[in-house]
Structure 1
Amino acid sequence: MVQAILLVGGKGTRLMPLTRTIPKPMLPVAGFPVTQHQLAMAKRAGITSVVLATSYLEEVFRPYFGDGSRWGMKIQYAVEGSPLGTGGAIANAAALLRPDEPIVVLNGDILSSHDLSAQIAFHNKNGAAATLHITEVDDARAYGCVPVDANNRVTAFLEKMDNPIAKTINAGCYVFSPGAIDAIPANTVVSIEREVFPELVTHTQKVFGYIDNSYWLDLGTPSALLQGSRDLVQGRAIGVDFTSAPVSVHTNDYIALAGSRIDASAQIFNGSSIGQAVQVHEATVIDGSVVSNGAVISNGAIVRSSFIAEGVTVIAGAVIEASYVGQDGIFPLMVSN
């Protein structure tokens, strides 16, 4: 049986100020935390034992996810007193899992619709030490690239460069065979991307790339977070099963969670997301935005390409565009529509 580790300890610096009081994997996309969408993907692949590797604002995760029983999973928590890097976090979390079975590792800020079951099967077929999900992008300069040979065996891990030699990049989902994680030193700051994987390749370990060009998005910026939310609502990405979730409305225009109250005159469209217990009043417009739990959108307010934090009231007649509205103010966001 395959187990999983979700790397959810990052601070989310690129997402500030959204992550000032909430860790980025707990930010709502299409009504639910990023981590919940990842757990749904893991569950579809038959994974029921998961460790959340936490650090920044770690106290936020346990009250929401508990022991995982509400999703038919077992969830444990590995808390880093100080950040250990991606490799150190994996080694720390793996101590809570069975040492004789494969482990899937997911970066906590990735939204992916790739076939995780097929990636696991590909890993087993090749007898690999590690198998990375690899996706192809038009411009790899922002990511660095991971070239593979004719048999999809990884040949190198290359840093960002002006003229990448390949379009294949690390998509942030890995399968490790039993024992492969043992090479990562415990309680040490280690990068899986810059140290562990290159070391495995250098020492001719079998590291493979599972190429799957299904929907994939790095949710590391406000623009990407809003886009990912819209894509989930409109069916371009796969995450939580909305048919079995506490959802009161789901159309191509928007999703609204249970307990929300929306006036019939409100215009909500472009894949917007309305959280639990949200109040949307008369003559409002919500366009391609995320409205978090408990927020109030007052009469005549217009909200476009924006993120409204939990419990915030947008006053009557306000016009909010490309902004984050939190309890401590309004902050402009660099977003693309």
Structure 2
Amino acid sequence: MRAMILAAGLGTRMRPLSDLRPKPILPVRGVPLLAYPLAWLAHHGVREVILNLHHMPEATRAAARAWAPPQLALRFSDEPELLGTGGGIRRAAAFLRESDPSLILAGDMICDADLGALVAAHRARGDAATLLLRDDPRADRFGTIGVDESGSVRRIARRFDLGGERGAGVYVSVNVIAARAFDWLPEREAFSHLDDWLAPRLAAGARDVRGELVAASGFRWEPVGTPAEYLAANLRAQPLPFFDADARARALGARIEPDLIVGPGARLGRGARLARAVVWDGERVPDGLVAQDGVFAGGAFHSVSGARAEPAA
């Protein structure tokens, strides 16, 4: 099976951290964020993955090659100009349609959903597209996609609504796509995959774009799109059956503690005291720095909650 990881965005919500490194390779518990979805896909039998690249593309390319499981063959789709989620998919469509179905997912999350079960449900129904939805208590924060009693998508957030909704869940940016769905991609360069590819199909009366609604207890989903989410993902253990990130990070020299993650090769200066914090690999924290709730990266402490770094008395 083939898959695509969407990794070309600028990561504007993650600034200033994404000004230093592209969001897909920000270190989470001592390893690049991208390592998690790569391991997840390999665990579920995916053998070929394409990533679209734009912001600092060589850094993402190098990290993907370094952290991809050996059974994964990687390809890259460079986007000198951003194409949106749909445009990125369109550029990779020739590669993806050779796998029926293929998987398309965002690169800024940690997830352990059962992709095998999702693909099986998609195939059993003969869907053109299946979107993974989570009955998530954070629905007010992320918005939802609504479905009817058969699972057919009827609403996308607040911008598309056909009526007839019987349930809703948070869209976790995981999609199973049949090869035939690529036949109705818009004939333009830049567009949204939801609004400009799938929504028009639904508006025309199709019922083969469905949401697979799963209880929150059914799988782990950790979005990593903002500095606050990034810090939370680092300070929360990620017990995944397919990837022991902590063990991999410690083997490289990382220090993993309940409220402090110090990346490989990083050093805390004498008297420095950090709490609920992340120190990126290779950084040198100055002597006497006292700070909490933030990230030390690029030679500076970036507060997440508003706490300020200050020298020790």
Q: Normalising to structure 1: TM-score of the pair?
A: 0.80
Q: Which amino acid aligns with 2:236?
A: D
Q: Quote the residue 1:60 is aligned against.
A: 59
Q: Quote the residue 1:138 is aligned against.
A: 137
Aligned to 2:230, which of 215, 225, 228?
Answer: 225
Q: Quote the residue 2:290 is aligned against.
A: 319
Whole-Å Cα distance in 2 between the matches of residues 58 and 116 of structure 1?
Answer: 27
Cα shift at 1:16? 1.1
Q: How does 1:218-257 map to 2 (within 5 A)?
A: 218-233=223-238, 235=239, 240-242=243-245, 246-247=248-249, 256-257=250-251
Identity over aligned pairs, percent: 27
Larger helix fraction of residues: 2
The question of whether the paired residues in 1 share the 8 Å contact of 2:35 and 2:67 is answered with no
1:103-128: CA deviation from partner (whole Å, max 9, x where unpaired):
10011112212111111111001100
Whole-Å Cα distance in 2 between the matches of residues 38 and 69 of structure 1?
Answer: 9
Provide structure 1 residue ranges, at least 5 long, that are not aligned to the other structure: 248-255, 263-267, 271-286
Whole-Å Cα distance in 2 between the matches of residues 64 and 107 of structure 1?
Answer: 16
Cα shift at 1:228? 1.8
The question of whether the paired residues in 1 share the 8 Å contact of 2:283 and 2:298 is answered with yes
Structure 1 residues 69, 11: closer, same or farther in 2, change over 3 A?
closer
Cα shift at 1:202? 1.5
Q: How does 1:145-164 map to 2 (within 5 A)?
A: 145-159=144-158
Q: How does 1:259-298 map to 2 (within 5 A)?
A: 259-260=253-254, 269-270=257-258, 287=259, 289-298=260-269
Q: Quote the residue 2:169 is aligned against.
A: 168
Cα shift at 1:318? 1.9
1:83-104: CA deviation from partner (whole Å, max 9, x where unpaired):
1001111111223345352110
Structure 1 residues 75, 316: closer, same or farther in 2, change over 3 A?
same
Corresponding pairs, count = 299
The question of whether the paired residues in 2 share the 8 Å contact of 1:53 and 1:78 is answered with yes
Q: Quote the residue 2:95 is aligned against.
A: 96
Moved more, 187-196 or 3-12: 187-196
Aligned to 1:306, which of 277, 282, 305?
Answer: 277
Q: Quote the residue 1:258 is aligned against.
A: 252
SS at match of 2:157: coil
Matched, 1:79 2:78: yes
Whole-Å Cα distance in 2 between the matches of residues 221 and 4 of structure 1?
Answer: 25
Q: How does 1:21-36 map to 2 (within 5 A)?
A: 21-36=20-35
Structure 1 residues 321, 57: closer, same or farther in 2, change over 3 A?
same
Q: How does 1:324-335 map to 2 (within 5 A)?
A: 324-334=295-305
Provide structure 2 residue ranges, at least 5 long, that are not aligned to the other structure: 308-313
1:17-48: CA deviation from partner (whole Å, max 9, x where unpaired):
11112111101112221211001111111001
Q: Quote the residue 2:196 is aligned against.
A: 195
Q: Which amino acid aligns with 1:269?
A: E
Whole-Å Cα distance in 1 between the matches of residues 306 and 224 of structure 2?
Answer: 12
Q: Which amino acid aligns with 2:60?
A: F
SS at match of 2:20: coil
The question of whether the paired residues in 2 share the 8 Å contact of 1:15 and 1:24 is answered with yes
Q: Which amino acid aligns with 1:224?
A: E
Structure 1 residues 328, 75: closer, same or farther in 2, change over 3 A?
same
- Ranked by relative contact order (alpha carbons within 8 Å, sequence separation 6 or more), the top structure is 2
Cα shift at 1:186? 5.5
Moved more, 79-88 or 203-212: 203-212
